Chains A and B, each alone.
Chain A
Amino acid sequence: QVQLVESGGGVVQPGRSLRLTCAASGFTFGDYAMQWVRQTPGKGLEWVTVISFEGRDKYYADSVRGRFTISRDNSKDTLYLQMNSLRHEDTAIYYCAKWAETAARSHVDYWGQGTLVTVSS
């Protein structure tokens, strides 16, 4: 069965960096685009970034562009999110999510359990 397991969250000071990792299993990782979605505890969902199946195309939300970088290693079935210059407003649960279709547009069919990032001095 499909599993997405995030790690790397924690408490970090404003301005510092953190790298999140999502280990995927149960499907052919290299066939699907992957994305990160975040959720402030008790609030709504915010799309963060997406990476194409081969890693060539990447798109970002305005709120993180220039600070966050998405990447993937298809040989290791792993997705990454490098977060630099962190701000208080980046505090959220970060979910790794798999696209349902191997197409240019798709919804998400699987989500990880999430990892909490807290930006606090």
Chain B
Amino acid sequence: DIQMTQSPSTLSASVGDRVTITCRASQSISTWLAWYRQKPGKVPQALIYKASNLESEVPSRFSGSGSGTEFTLTISSLQPDDFATYYCQQYNSYPLTFGGGTRVEIK
């Protein structure tokens, strides 16, 4: 099984900050990676697919990069709506696996 490791597990930041979250795969997944945001009490929402493609209607402050085993999600200017938990997920091979999540909290 492919293990997905996210770092950090918790991140404290302020509105307007540039934030970067990292996701590492235990083996190459090419660019078969998605990022999701889950606000408290809500269902996950897709932000990025195929490592760097912005999902429809997602603000352009979100961007993704990487390939192989190392990936990043960047929020260029953190907004109040972005205080949430972020998950990466590989869909290169079964079983599909999620990272453990990164909680972005208010500093």
Contact = CB atoms under 8 A, between A and B. Distances in A.
Interface string A92-121: 000100001000011111011110000000
Contacts, number: 56
A109 B95 contact: no
A2 interface: no
Contact of B91 (A45, A95, A105): A105
B49 A44 contact: no
Contacts of A113: 43
- Interface residues on chain A, size class: 20 to 34
Interface in B58-107: 87, 89, 91-92, 94-101
Interface of A: 35, 44-47, 50, 59-62, 95, 100, 105-109, 111-114
Given A44-B99, A105-B92, A111-B43, 5 more contacts: A45-B36, A45-B89, A46-B98, A95-B43, A100-B49
18 contacts: A35-B96, A44-B87, A44-B98, A44-B101, A45-B87, A46-B98, A59-B94, A59-B96, A61-B95, A95-B44, A100-B49, A107-B34, A107-B49, A107-B50, A108-B36, A108-B46, A111-B44, A111-B45
